[in-house]
């Protein structure tokens, strides 16, 4: 159940404004959700979920947290540890390449989100998402436009998803040498596309995504 799509002016940095409103409305366990790897050509899609204590003062300890896309890898790694230490609970769920190819990317994101939520030890009362409607989830949720730039919970979830997935892709770089997964993390950079043309798709490439599907059709 989606309670609304909020699209007010962006704050200077994500904060607990929405969380505080929800805490005051009687939702002590508010979960932020965000994904990483939706547009990649290889590797799983990851969804992070996090629940912070109902304490707006916690914002001071997390003042460096931002949308993961505007942070450097070193900054994300630094804050990922502090985010987890400050949280009541957090998890990362995945949907694998085969599931992405079979279901499509958006259903796969939903699947990864359900897995992350199911792994929590604390049951959230409401979710905040980055403009993602989890249609099969019975929990109420607020879908935010640019949620990772507005909600500190969503921004923190984006960092957890990104750092966890990056670590997996670095490992895939060792298992599948030549593609450069440890550098581009599966995204369609020029170097990645050149490696695809040279080596053909690996077992961890998304065969339903272009240009991977084009190479398969051409016998690459």
Please determine, for residue 190, whether its predicted confidence score (pLDDT) is greater than 60.
yes
pTM value surpassing 0.75 = yes
| Upstream peptide bond of 119 is cis (omega within 30 degrees of 0) | no
Please determine, for residue 80, whether its predicted confidence score (pLDDT) is greater than 70.
yes
Q: Cβ neighbours of residue 220 under 8 Å, at least 6 residues apart?
A: 196, 197, 200, 201, 214
User: Edge-to-edge strand order for the sheet containing 141-144?
Assistant: 2-6, 141-144, 126-129, 30-36, 45-51, 89-95
As given in the structure block, the two tokens for residue 37 are: 């790897």
Return the pLDDT at 1: 45
Average pLDDT, the chain: 92
Q: State whether residue 181 is helix, strand or coil.
A: helix
pLDDT-based confidence at 69, cuts 50/70/90? confident
Q: Which residue has the higher pLDDT, 96 or 7?
A: 96
Q: Tell me: the pLDDT tens digits for 92-141?
A: 999 999 999 999 999 999 999 999 999 999 999 999 999 888 888 889 98
- Contact status, residue 177 vs residue 57, Cβ threshold 8 Å: no
In the chain, what are the domains?
Answer: 13-177 (3.30.420.10)
**Strand 45-51 relative to strand 30-36: parallel, antiparallel, unpaired?**
antiparallel
**Strand 126-129 relative to strand 89-95: parallel, antiparallel, unpaired?**
unpaired
Name residue, tokens 């500190």: 152
| Upstream peptide bond of 211 is cis (omega within 30 degrees of 0) | yes
Average pLDDT, integer, range 153-168: 97
Q: State whether residue 142 is helix, strand or coil.
A: strand
Please determine, for residue 220, whether its predicted confidence score (pLDDT) is greater than 70.
no
Task: Determine the straight-line distance between the first and last CA of the chain, rounded to whole angstroms.
Answer: 44
């Amino acid at each position: 159940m989606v309670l609304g799509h909020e699209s007010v002016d962006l704050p200077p940095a994500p904060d607990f404004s929405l969380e505080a409103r929800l805490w005051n409305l009687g939702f002590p366990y508010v979960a932020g959700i965000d994904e990483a790897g939706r547009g990649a050509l290889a590797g799983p899609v990851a969804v992070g979920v996090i629940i912070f204590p109902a304490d707006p003062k916690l914002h001071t300890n997390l003042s460096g947290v931002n949308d993961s896309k505007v942070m450097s890898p070193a900054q994300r790694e630094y804050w990922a540890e502090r985010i987890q230490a400050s949280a009541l609970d957090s998890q990362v769920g995945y949907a694998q390449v085969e599931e992405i190819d079979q279901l499509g990317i958006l259903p796969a994101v939903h699947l990864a989100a359900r897995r992350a939520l199911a792994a929590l030890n604390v049951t959230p009362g409401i979710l905040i998402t980055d403009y993602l409607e989890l249609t099969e989830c019975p929990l109420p949720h607020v879908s935010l436009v640019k949620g990772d730039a507005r909600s500190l919970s969503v921004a923190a979830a984006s960092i957890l998803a990104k750092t966890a997935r990056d670590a997996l892709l670095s490992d895939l770089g060792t298992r599948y040498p030549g593609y450069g997964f440890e550098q581009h993390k599966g995204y369609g950079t020029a170097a990645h596309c050149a490696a695809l043309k040279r080596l053909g798709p690996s077992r961890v490439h998304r065969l339903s995504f272009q240009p991977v599907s084009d190479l398969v059709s051409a016998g690459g």
